[in-house]
Structure 1
Amino acid sequence: MRLRLREFRPRTGPHERRVVQPRQPLRHTSLRRPAPVGTLMGDHDGLSRLAGLFSFAAHSPHTIVHVPLRDGVPPDEGRGPLVDLVLAHGSLGLRASQWPGLRRRLRRGDGVPLTVRTDEARTARDAAGLLARQRHTDRLDELRHTVHASTFFLFGSRDVFAEAAMSLARAAGWGPRQKRVSEGQAALVSGLWGLRQPPGGGHPVEVLVCFKAYPPYAHFRRP
Structure 2
Amino acid sequence: MKLHLTVHDARSGRESFRVVRPASPPAHAELFDDSWYLNAYLDREAAHLMAGLWTLAASSPRTLIHLPLRTAGGRTPGDRALDLVLLHHSLQFAPAHWKRLRARLGPGRPRTVDLRPPEPREETDGTHPPYAGDRDRFHQHIHAETLFLTGSAPLFRRGAALLRDVALGGPAHRRTPARHGHYCREIDCGIHFRGLHVEYLDPADDQDRYRTGNGPG
Identity of aligned residues (%): 29
Structure 2: segments with no counterpart, 5+ residues? 208-217
- Structure 2 partner of 1:153: 148
Indicate yes or no: 2:208 matched with 1:214: no
What corresponds to 2:114 in structure 1?
A: 117
Which of 183, 191, 199 does residue 188 from structure 1 map onto? Answer: 183
Count residues in correspondence.
201
CA distance in 1, matches of 2:75, 2:48: 21
Q: TM-score, length-normalised on structure 1?
A: 0.80
Q: Are 1:99 and 2:98 an aligned pair?
A: yes
Contact 1:181/1:187 (CA < 8 Å) preserved in 2?
no
Distance change in 2, residues 1:146/1:61 (3 Å):
same
- C-alpha distance in 1, partners of 2:48/2:76? 21
Unaligned segments of structure 1, at least 5 residues: 199-203, 219-223
Contact 2:37 2:197 in 1 (8 A): yes
Corresponding position: 1:48 with 2:37:
no
Q: Secondary structure at the match of 1:120?
A: coil
Alignment pair present for 1:141 and 2:140: no
Q: Greater CA deviation, 77-86 or 152-161?
A: 77-86
CA distance in 1, matches of 2:160, 2:167: 11
Distance 1:78 1:196, change over 3 A: farther
Question: What is residue 178 of structure 1 aligned with on the other side?
Answer: 173
After TM superposition, the score normalised by the length of structure 2 is 0.82
C-alpha spacing 1:132/1:186, structure 2 compared with 1 (3 Å)? closer
* Separation in 2, partners of 1:96, 1:2: 29
AA matched with 2:13: G
Does the Cα contact within 8 Å between 1:146 and 1:153 map onto a contact in 2?
yes
Q: 1:77 to 1:181 in 2, by over 3 A?
A: farther
SS of 2:183's equivalent? strand
Q: Note if contact 1:188-1:208 (Cα within 8 Å) is conserved in structure 2.
A: no
- Counterparts in 2 of 1:180 and 1:20: CA distance versus 1, 3 Å: same
For residue 80 of structure 1, report the CA deviation from its aligned partner.
1.7
Shift of 1:11: 1.0
Q: Show the counterpart of 2:210.
A: none
CA distance in 2: counterparts of 1:46 and 1:15, whole angstroms: 32
User: Residues 96-137 of structure 1: CA distance to partner in whole angstroms, max 9, x if unpaired?
Assistant: 1010011001233xx00011112236x779x89x94743xxx
